[in-house]
Amino acid sequence: MKKNETNLFSGLYLGEYDHTLDAQSRVSFPSEWRNREGETELVLIPARGKALILLPLATFLDFVNKAKSQAIANPAMQMAFAFLGANSRQCHCDRQGRIALDRKMLDRIGVSGCLKLIGAVTHIRLCAPENWQNPSDEGAMETYLDEIRKIGDASPDLQALLHGMIGK
Pair (112, 147) in one structural domain = no
Domain that holds residue 152: 135-168
89-99 pLDDT, tens digit each: 999 888 888 99
Side-chain-facing half-sphere of 164: CA atoms under 13 Å: 6
- List all residues 6 or more positions away from 125 whose beta carbon is below 8 Å from its beta carbon: 47, 51, 52, 53, 117, 118
**pLDDT for the residue numbered 46:** 94
Q: Predicted confidence band at 111 (pLDDT cuts at 50, 70, 90)?
A: very high
Pair (141, 111) in one structural domain = no
d(CA 53, CA 39): 19
Pair (113, 140) in one structural domain = no
43-85 pLDDT, tens digit each: 999 998 899 999 999 889 988 888 887 778 888 888 888 999 9
Helices 75-86 and 57-73, axial angle in degrees (round to 10): 150
Q: What is the pTM of this model?
A: 0.75
